[in-house]
Chain A
Amino acid sequence: MMNDGNVTLTLTPAADSPRPLVLTPGQDLRGYLAALLGRAFLFFLTFSSVLAVMLILVFVVIRSLGFLSSSSLMEFLASQSWRPTADPPVFGALAIIVGSLYVSLAALVFAVPLGILAAVFLSDMVSWKVRNVVKPIVEILAAIPSVAYGFFAVLVLAPWLQREFGFSTGTNALNASLILAVMALPTIISVAEDSISALGRELREASYSCGATRMETLLRVVIPAAHSGIIAAVVLGMMRAIGETMVVWMASGNAPQIPHPWWDLAQSVRTLTATIAGEMGEAPETSLHRGALFAMGVLLLLMTLGMNIVSEYFLARAKKAGGKA
């Protein structure tokens, strides 16, 4: 099968194709029906897989309805007090929402410059051969299971941060965002590299011919021209970071507080995903508590949906820009 991958094969089907030039009505009908059936079958498969995926969204929304209809949405979004097992329970998720955004944004601060530099390195600095060696490194980073990252965060990074920087706690926003940065890097690098190399030679050559150095070409011409793709890369990286569960659960310290002062990464924060993962198992099946956790899931969905729309928009623009160049 794989041997047939080259161009010679694209010629063969016509050569030994049993297709006569003129079809009888019966053959025509049969061919039409077969195509129709095949299409229907493919549609069914596609439909069912898409359906299974879509059902999750429905599932999350339905399970949260009980909570959303019976509890105050205002309290959920505006209160900082998350005490699901108190009597009466208080479901204020503000600090947790902020925590989610906080670590993801901090992760981006680490990951974006590094990711763009690495993408530029892969697309403009090295030969095809070197690129083929370096790319798997990035892919391996994407392949390491999150449990392993979690172990690293708790057992290696946390004590190190505590020792070297004198933090009172090693499991904090800094720890979580560093690990999330590493996890988001592969996405950022590959999408950014695609859009940078898609710009083609002409733009670069034009810049070089004006006497610009490589750095100037890249920083002033290529990267601005590829900005849509890079923004999309950043948003996709952010989506990866905000949806990650196990690592933040182990590394962030899980204190439902808004860091004060706001730039102090050495404080513990708690994220939406970690709260869901940590509390779902113990909360009674039909309780408000579970509903509140699912409501957090809905919130996450809305966040990723928003980011998605943004990334689609910029990717579409990047495609257009690439097409023009």
Chain B
Amino acid sequence: MKLRFRGQLDRVFTIATGLSVVLLTLVLLAILGPMVYRGSSAVFFQGTVEFRKMQKNLFGRGDEQALHAEVAETEKVRQQVYEMIDAFKKGVDVEALSEQVRQIHRQFGQDLRDRNLPAGEYTRLRELTRQIRDKLEAAFRSQDINEIKRLVGEVLKDESNPQLKGTSAEKLFAIARQFLQAAGQIDLGKHQEYALALQEAEGILFHSEALPGLLGPRPGEPPAPLVMLRYGATRWDQAQTLLDRFLWVEHWVEEKPGEPLVLQRKPRAELFPEPLRPLFTYVEQNAGKMLHPRRTVYWQFLRDDNVNSHYFGGIGPEILGTMLITVVGMLFVIPLGIISAAYLVECASDGWTMRIIRMGINTLAGVPSIVFGLFGLAFFVLFLFPLLGFAPRPCILAASMTLAVLTLPVMIRASEEAIRSVPATYKEGSLALGASRFHTFIAVTFPAALPGILTGVILSLSRIAGETAPILFTGAVSLGAVPRSLFDPTRTLSYGSYDMAVGDRLGMMVPHNQYGMVVTLVLLILILNGAAIMLRTRVFKKLRGH
């Protein structure tokens, strides 16, 4: 009985150890899985016609004619949206109307001056249009339909005036008539409200002062200063979020006093009077036709430069910078680490100096990485570079050297362990056969210690490629040209990810790019590591004689 119990317990224990590894694997998957999933959408997604426009304009990619045809097709469907909004605006956006009327009045005065009319005639005509202007503006301001009818009626009497025929003033009558027609259909008391609601809806549909919209700016509009405002939703998932915001309004309403408010959604169409409501159904039904979503593989994400702080484009320069810093850093770390470890094991006596050195090296594990950055700036950039005749400014070389110092302890320690664990009999055999100590190290000790050394390489490589803080002061920039030499600063994946996470809100607007950058960094490190791990397995197999 007791034996059985012990056997059970033993099995439970075995399972527990197995579970611990399963748990580790799950943790790994939980961390990498969602990240890779979201990051992959930087490359694989449903691209809209806006995406193809952007690619053509910013990167010169894609077939010109096919794009033209596609744009023409989508514009045809969008035309109706423009028309519906314009028609509604004529009755509602009284400030824009007033501005338009004033503009026409000014233009008319200009035209009259150009025609060199006699002074009396000029004054009379100017007075006439001024009266028309004032009456129209009064009509725009009025909330009483009868008064509007009277004022517009008075204005329209002058339409037959031959002196205004064919002049720029004629437009005034068209505006007046359209306004009268539109005003008859809506609740005039709500002018202000409608105008604000329309402004918001237009912001979502086209673009607002700071945020891109669903369809992008209307044709003929002067280009916005920020490139990201010049295009609509380039991705279908983005478009759907915007569409949802366009169709629904979220309100937090009080159900009981003193309790938290409750979220309520209601159709945005309800904010508007009857004439504009069809717009919302139209946009909802024709969103696909206006944007043409199509499966897209944007592999150039790994090559392109970015536009507007990673709103558009890719991470090419960041990948290049990370690789450069990593490679140059490893060029310092690997030889220095191995040589130092070899010296410490083979040549130096194991006295108290060694102990202090080892202690000092290990203590560095507790130094926060940002301190390395400040050290790199003070020592390499400001002290060592002028000494060697280089310009004392942050650059790739300085960043690599700083990171090398950061990872040297890891490398030295791993190599030291590896070299130390090579059995003394190997060395003794070689020395007994007459090989020199140097030759013995190169031919016997080093290959035998290689697996352990490669573990050190793996660990330090991951840190070099992934650290942010040390390069913040020594060679990383958030914006700058692609580096042309080791004496230029560069952008990197690690700093880029950090910058996007804490910078402005762009990171939140384009999470796919943010995750894409992090995932690329992780994958880059994993690929490099995979190579090192495979190398190690091969070396191991050779060493064990399989």
Contact = CB atoms under 8 A, between A and B. Distances in A.
Contacts of A132: 537
Interface stretch (B14-22, B43-51, B102-110, B176-184): B14-22
Contact of B469 (A216, A246, A301): A246
B509 interface: no
Interface residues of A, number: 91
B340 A46 contact: yes
B189 to A, nearest CB: 44
B343 A42 contact: yes
B275 interface: no
B424 interface: no
B465 A13 contact: no
Contacts of B405: 52-53, 56
Interface string B34-69: 110000000000000000000000000000000000
Interface centre among A43, A144, A280 (most CB of B within 10 A): A144
Contacts of A5: 447-448, 450, 539, 542-543
Given A147-B497, A182-B27, A215 B525 contact: no
Contact of A4 (B17, B443, B522): B443
13 contacts: A2-B447, A4-B443, A10-B433, A45-B343, A46-B339, A50-B360, A52-B379, A53-B360, A53-B405, A53-B409, A56-B375, A122-B21, A148-B466
A304 B468 contact: no
Interface string B1-38: 00000110110111011111101110110111011000
Given A143-B525, A304-B367, A312-B358, 5 more contacts: A13-B440, A43-B347, A118-B24, A125-B14, A216-B6
Interface stretch (A91-99, A199-207, A237-245): A237-245
A39 interface: yes
A114 interface: yes
Given A136-B533, A139-B529, A148-B522, A114 B24 contact: yes
A125 B17 contact: yes
Contacts of B6: 213, 216
Interface string A119-154: 011100100000010101111111111111111100
B363 A301 contact: yes
A17 B25 contact: no
Given A59-B375, A117-B16, A308-B359, A143 B529 contact: yes
Interface in B436-461: 436-440, 443-444, 447-448, 450, 455, 458-459
B242 interface: no
Interface in B441-491: 443-444, 447-448, 450, 455, 458-459, 462, 465-469, 472
Does more than half of chain A's interface fall in helix, strand or loop, or is it mixed?
A: helix
A144 B462 CA distance: 7
B400 interface: no
B35 A118 contact: no
A19 B430 CA distance: 14
B518 A50 contact: no
B13 A144 contact: no
Interface centre among B429, B466, B539 (most CB of A within 10 A): B466
A4 B358 CA distance: 31
B538 interface: yes
A255 B12 CA distance: 42
B370 interface: yes
Nearest to A141: B28
Interface of B: 6-7, 9-10, 12-14, 16-21, 23-25, 27-28, 30-32, 34-35, 336-337, 339-340, 342-344, 347, 355, 357-372, 374-375, 378-379, 405, 408-409, 412, 426, 429-430, 433-440, 443-444, 447-448, 450, 455, 458-459, 462, 465-469, 472, 494, 497-498, 501, 515, 518, 521-522, 525-526, 529, 533, 537-539, 542-543, 545
B378 A54 contact: no
A154 to B, nearest CB: 8
Given A13-B435, A246-B468, A2 B539 contact: yes
Contacts of A185: 24
Contacts of B409: 53
Interface in A51-88: 52-57, 59-60, 63
Contact of A297 (B20, B371, B440, B468): B371
Contacts of A210: none
A6 B371 contact: no
Contact of A14 (B9, B25, B336, B435): B435
Contact of B545 (A6, A14, A276, A307): A6
Interface in A164-182: 182
B336 to A, nearest CB: 4
Contact of A42 (B339, B440, B545): B339
Contact of B359 (A11, A56, A114, A309): A309
A19 B342 CA distance: 24
A227 B87 CA distance: 83
A89 interface: no
B351 to A, nearest CB: 15
A215 B14 contact: yes
A215 to B, nearest CB: 4
Given A5-B450, A214-B10, A10 B364 contact: no
Contacts of A45: 336, 339-340, 343
A142 B462 contact: yes
A308 B363 contact: yes
Contacts of A147: 466, 468, 494, 497-498, 501, 518, 521
Contacts of A3: 542
A52 B408 contact: yes
Interface string A204-224: 000000000111101100000
Interface centre among A5, A17, A42, A301 (most CB of B within 10 A): A5
B370 A276 contact: yes
A156 interface: yes
Contact of A148 (B9, B35, B412, B450): B35
Contacts of B19: 117
